[in-house]
Structure formats: C-alpha cells, structure tokens
Chains A and B, each alone.
Chain A
Amino acid sequence: EAEVAQSPRYKITEKSQAVAFWCDPISGHATLYWYRQILGQGPELLVQFQDESVVDDSQLPKDRFSAERLKGVDSTLKIQPAELGDSAMYLCASSLGDPRGGTQYFGPGTRLTVL
C-alpha cells in the first residue's frame, strides 16, 4: 500500500538553529499539505501545494518558516531560526487530484523538540 514518507522521524535542536523536514507524497498525488500538531490539539495547516504552486500559506509564519515543492513531487519545510514554541509534530499529507480531492493521507510525522 502506498504511503506518505517523511524524514527524519525525530529531530532535537537548539533554539536559533535551522531545521529541515522532508516529505515524499503518495505517487501521483498532486496536492501536498504540511500541518503542525501541538500536543493536545488537532493538526493545523501550515502550507498547501497544488503541484509546485502554493495554494494556501496563510498560516505559515513566513519570517522563519519556508516551504518548497520545486518539481511538484517531494517537498521540504524549513525553520530558521527555530524557537522553543516550534516544538511540535510536523505532519505531511497528500491527496489525489484538485485541491478539493477529498481524502488526505498522512505520513508518520516528524517530532521536533527545540531546547
């Protein structure tokens, strides 16, 4: 069964350092999402791509976060500099077809701890 791949699974960093997360969506899925989940809360969308284009980045803290999907396949989310409040699970999801393609399938996530 096809899955969304993410790496690393766990990342510990010190504040003010840079971190990067990678996501490879299910093959053929045009829409890719990055979510952040803080413990005790539901996931919140950071950025959404349709192929290589950003569809929604309204909740992305653009002063420190950046995301790219250069070839419309895999994607990288970067934080620079990391802050203590960035400690969370970062989830990548993908869906087939247009932005309203329905079901989103999630990867295993990257657990970020900022010290």
Chain B
Amino acid sequence: DQQVKQNSPSLSVQEGRISILNCDYTNSMFDYFLWYKKYPAEGPTFLISISSIKDKNEDGRFTVFLNKSAKHLSLHIVPSQPGDSAVYFCAASGRGSSNTGKLIFGQGTTLQVKP
C-alpha cells in the first residue's frame, strides 16, 4: 500500500516559468511533510518542510502548500532554473504510539527545466 504517491513520473518546464510538483497521501496520521531533491549518484538534499498546523511555507523560490482535507501537498518553484533539474521526492511522517520519525517517501518526480 503506497501511503505517499507522486503520480507524475516526470515534468518538463521552460526556464523562468513555474514548476508545480504534486504529492498525495492516504494516512491521516501524517503531520509533517518534506520535499527532497536528488541529483544522480548523490543522496537526497532537504529542500523545504511543512507541519500540518500550517497550510503554506515559503523559502526563497520554493513554496510548499498543504491541503489537509484533500490529503494533498504541492511544491512550487518560481522561477524555475536549469539547475533545478533533478528528481524530487515528497516524504511524510506521522503521529501515533509507534511513531519514530520514520519517513515514508513517494516514488519521485523527475523535473527537467529547459533553457
């Protein structure tokens, strides 16, 4: 059972435009969400996070939106740059007596930003 889903395997945008990456989750116990970026042959790099008490968090060109009722979050990159081309992973962790901070990752979305 895939608790965190990124339904778009790939996305291509023009430099300077907005990139929107989407993520859906099924477990209502998740209360902390993160986005990671991964280049080939490297480990994931933390980008931005959001707690379930918020619906938006912004850091420079990156903004994450959380819609708890829809169990959906999105990452907006504005403006997109060629260096943003990478695989983006959505991850979640949650409450519960057995919660250990374990992250559940989506399958990833490959973003290509064309010059």
Residue from the list A48, A106, A111 in contact with B44, Cβ < 8 A? A106
Bound Cα distance A63, B34 (Å): 32
Residues of A within 8 A of B102 (CB): 33, 45, 48, 56
Name the residue on A nearest B34 (C-beta). A103
Q: Are A103 and B46 in contact (CB under 8 A)?
A: yes
Q: Are B42 and A109 in contact (CB under 8 A)?
A: yes
Render A78-93 as a binary contact track against B, CB cut-off 8 A, 1 for contact.
0000000000000101
A48 with B106: in contact, given A91-B44, A107-B43, A109-B42 (CB under 8 Å)? no
Q: Are A100 and B101 in contact (CB under 8 A)?
A: yes
Q: Are B108 and A42 in contact (CB under 8 A)?
A: yes
Q: Are A104 and B103 in contact (CB under 8 A)?
A: yes
Count residues of A near B (Cβ-Cβ below 8 Å). Answer: 30
Q: Are A102 and B32 in contact (CB under 8 A)?
A: yes
Q: Are B49 and A43 in contact (CB under 8 A)?
A: no
Residues of B within 8 A of A102 (CB): 32, 49, 101
A41 with B107: in contact, given A56-B102, A102-B49 (CB under 8 Å)? yes
Bound Cα distance A93, B46 (Å): 11
- Chain B residues numbered 81-95 whose CB sits less than 8 Å from any CB in chain A: 89, 91, 93
A binding-site residues for B, Cβ under 8 Å: 4, 6, 9, 31, 33, 40-45, 48, 55-56, 91, 93, 95, 98-109, 111
